[in-house]
Structure 1
Amino acid sequence: MNAIKSIVSWLAGRPALFDSLRWVLEGGFVQHRQIIKSHLSSTGRDVAWKVLDIGCGTGLYAAHFPANQYVGIDISPVYTNAARSKFPEHRFETGDARQLTFKGDDFDAAFISGVIHHLTDDDAVAVLKEAIRVIKPSGRLVVWEDIPAPWWNIVGHVAHRLDLGACIRAADGYRKLIEHALSDDSERPATQPSLHVYTVRSGFMDYAVFVCDFSAGPAEDQSD
């Protein structure tokens, strides 16, 4: 198993190969695209949203947004360089999501995909708090993360054993982290977002999806 993990680590340092492996395991990212279409698309809005992609990797989702309405950030320069090569018109920055350099209320929406399961609780809350800080008071935060596979999903279990993220949690574990980050949001304590939670499967992988909508008024948990 350690030898296989070493191979996965080697692949992770080669963005094109790693993305190809993910494409197979994650069903061509079909559900990821649906999440973006459902919760982050500017279609039908009077003004296009400015969106921050936290942990953007190679810019897998950049094509779903106009170049002037999208910013991606990732801690790995290997990945942000690959993203710039694929999407030269889009903006990508290399940086630590626990300490974003953007101004407060700079984005209409932010999303985090496949990042939190790599982080300890403290680091996860720090990233979530920064995401909340840079979103406008009427904005939206969308998070989707790996959750444990059902017993019969052998491929999903093996993939998680090999995953470089050591903190895969049940949906309730991620929700508690999000609620913790929201409870520390002193700048808008009177307007906590609604929190809609549901699960999806894309390929062999299962995900919990969290939609925090600040424009919806008082806090409301709508778990499926």
Structure 2
Amino acid sequence: MKHVLELPALYQFYQELGGFFGARVTAIRDYLELRPNARVIDIGCGPGYILRHLPATIDYVGLDIDEPSIAFARARFESRFFDADAARELGPADVVMMNGVMHHIGDDDLVATLGHVRNALKPGGVLFTLDGCYAPGQGRLEKWLLDNDRGLHVRRADEYRHLLEQAFPDVEMHVRNKLSRLPYTFAIGVAKAA
């Protein structure tokens, strides 16, 4: 299953079928204010479908290390998608999004990455994160989905918060269930740069 999800179109189909993509759209709507002309850098943009659900007035740039996803996004949307090596030239940003990214990165590398993200934000800029998380009372299917995620570092919400707080002075963490069709718990982080 994990190898099938490496194909951008099948990954997006799975995300929509399980309701995970809709959860991302809902979380962005509920917790992230996107002002007109805001510079938004989307780290881990995957096949780029989120662009269809963001205001047309923002200045969006999608980044990913997965070349097939970047090629897929470029072919279907625009040339605003780049590989991760271009990240240094794209700041400063009003918003950085990391949807479904933190659970792919080990603690030490994540703390370093978050420091780079903080430095890429304008003063008062916002990092928005969304990842699956472990929580007490999860059912077997939900735990199985988290245990079998392609990301090897699924955490509890308090662990995500702790890592965000190592780079950001102001962190909100929201835990949401019932955002997707399949049972799943999401940790939604909103971290503000000084």
Q: Structure 1-normalised TM-score? A: 0.76
Q: 1:28 to 1:161 in 2, by over 3 A?
A: closer
Q: Does 1:178 align with 2:164?
A: yes
Residues 1:195 and 2:168 aligned together? no
Tell whether the 8 Å contact from 1:67 to 1:91 is kept in structure 2 after alignment.
no
Q: Which amino acid aligns with 1:72?
A: G
Q: Is 2:76 aligned against 1:100?
A: no
Look up the match of 1:129.
Answer: 115
Distance 1:152 1:135 in 2: 35
Q: State the identity as a percent.
A: 29
Hey, what does 1:118 align to over in structure 2?
104
Distance 1:205 1:95 in 2: 28
Say whether residues 1:56 and 2:45 are aligned partners.
yes
Q: How big is the shift at 1:69? A: 0.8
Amino acid paired to 1:93: F
Match of 1:4 in 2: none
Counterparts of 1:152 and 1:129, CA distance in 2: 32
Letter paired with 1:212: A
| Secondary structure class of the residue paired with 1:101 | helix
Whole-Å separation in 1 of the counterparts to 2:21 and 2:3: 22
Q: Which residue of 1 aligns with 2:28?
A: 36
Say which SS state the counterpart of residue 181 (structure 1) adopts.
coil
The partner residue of 1:20 within 9, 13, 21 is 13
Residue 79 (str. 1) matches residue 69 (str. 2): yes
Change (3 A) 1:39 1:151: closer
Task: State which of 3, 6, 10 in structure 1 corresponds to 2:3.
Answer: 10
Equivalents in 2 of 1:206, 1:140: separation in Å?
22
Give 1:151 shift: 3.8
Q: Which residue identity is paired with 1:114?
A: G
Q: 2:145 aligns to what?
A: 159
| Alpha carbons 1:124, 1:177 under 8 Å: kept | yes
The aligned counterpart of 1:206 is 185
Opposite residue 173 of structure 1, the aligned amino acid is: E
- C-alpha separation in 2, matches of 1:77 and 1:109: 23
Gaps of 5+ in 1: 1-7, 183-191, 218-224
What displacement does 1:131 show? 1.2
Structure 2 gaps of 5+ residues are none
Give the number of the structure whose alpha-carbon radius of gyration is greater.
Answer: 1
Shift of 1:148: 1.4
Q: Is the contact made by 2:164 and 2:171 (CA closer than 8 Å) also made in structure 1?
A: no
**Do the aligned partners of 1:149 and 1:205 also contact (CA within 8 Å) in 2?**
no
**Letter of the structure 2 residue corresponding to residue 100 of structure 1:** A
So what's the TM-score if we normalise by structure 2? Answer: 0.87
Native 8 Å contact 1:31 1:200 kept in 2: no
Q: Distance in 2 between matches of 1:16 and 1:149?
A: 30
Query: Runs in 1 of length 4+ with deviation above 4 angstroms?
Result: none
Q: CA 1:22 to 1:150, structure 2 compared with 1: closer, same or farther past 3 Å?
A: farther
Q: How many matched pairs? A: 190
Tell me, yes or no, if the aligned pair for 1:57 and 1:80 is still in contact at 8 Å: yes
- Aligned-residue CA RMSD (Å): 2.2
Quote the residue 2:59 is aligned against. 69
Q: Distance in 2 between matches of 1:71 and 1:103?
A: 8
